[in-house]
Amino acid sequence: MWVFGYGSLVWKVDFEYEYKLVGNIKGYLRRFYQHSIDHRGIPEKPGRVVTLVPSEDPNSTVWGIAYKIRAQDIDSVTKHLDFREKNGYSKKTVTFHPKDKNVEPFLLTLYVATKENESYAGAASIDAIAKQVINCIGPSGSNKEYVYNLANAMREIAPNVEDEHLFSLEAALRKLDTDFKSI
């Protein structure tokens, strides 16, 4: 079994895997359009984390990491990820395109929070998302840490890939952080 990570699964790997591959999936956009009430926020003050939204451009790519789960670990890893992604995420099978062109594309599982789930936050300006994120914290830590960790991880695994939504949010947060500290 293979699982694709495009958010916290890129930088917070708290499950067993045999090996991993960098690559992308097509037809989606990575967006901070999902409220988080159990990891980076609380029900009274939800944070924002990433999900995937369908793109009008079938060639849109979302880069991340595919993890090969050993047969003997499938049940335990699935149970763990189902719990971790319990707030609004559901499993979906898509085609993964490895960065290594010697490896043929293959089907894998990912967790996506569709717009039908009750914690779906929907579109908002980068400025509005940054102002929400900067003030949120949850059981897994601060919401801004989630953004910074994802931005750093994506630069590391796909240094030549521009993700304007992610990096402009990171920049907006770092500016708010700096402004706040300068008061």
Ligand X SMILES: N[C@@H](CCC(=O)N[C@@H](CS)C(=O)NCC(=O)O)C(=O)O
Binding site for ligand X (CB under 6 A): 5-10, 12, 36, 39-40, 49-50, 84-85, 87, 89, 110-111, 140, 146
- Does 85 qualify as catalytic in the annotation? yes
Would you mind telling me the total number of residues written for the chain in this entry?
A: 183
- Our CB check for ligand X shows the closer of 116 and 179 to be 116
**d(C-alpha 42, C-alpha 47), whole Å:** 7
CA distances from 22 to 101, 139, 164 (A): 11, 29, 19
DSSP state, residue 37? S
- Our CB check for ligand X shows the closer of 53 and 183 to be 53
- Our CB check for ligand X shows the closer of 145 and 179 to be 145
Instruction: Give the active site residue among 18, 85, 118, 145.
Output: 85
In whole angstroms, how close is the CB of 183 to ligand X at the nearest point? 28
Q: Tokens at residue 23, please?
A: 């690559």
Nearest to 119 by CA among 82, 90, 81, 83: 90
In whole angstroms, how close is the CB of 64 to ligand X at the nearest point? 7
User: Which residues are the active-site residues?
Assistant: 85
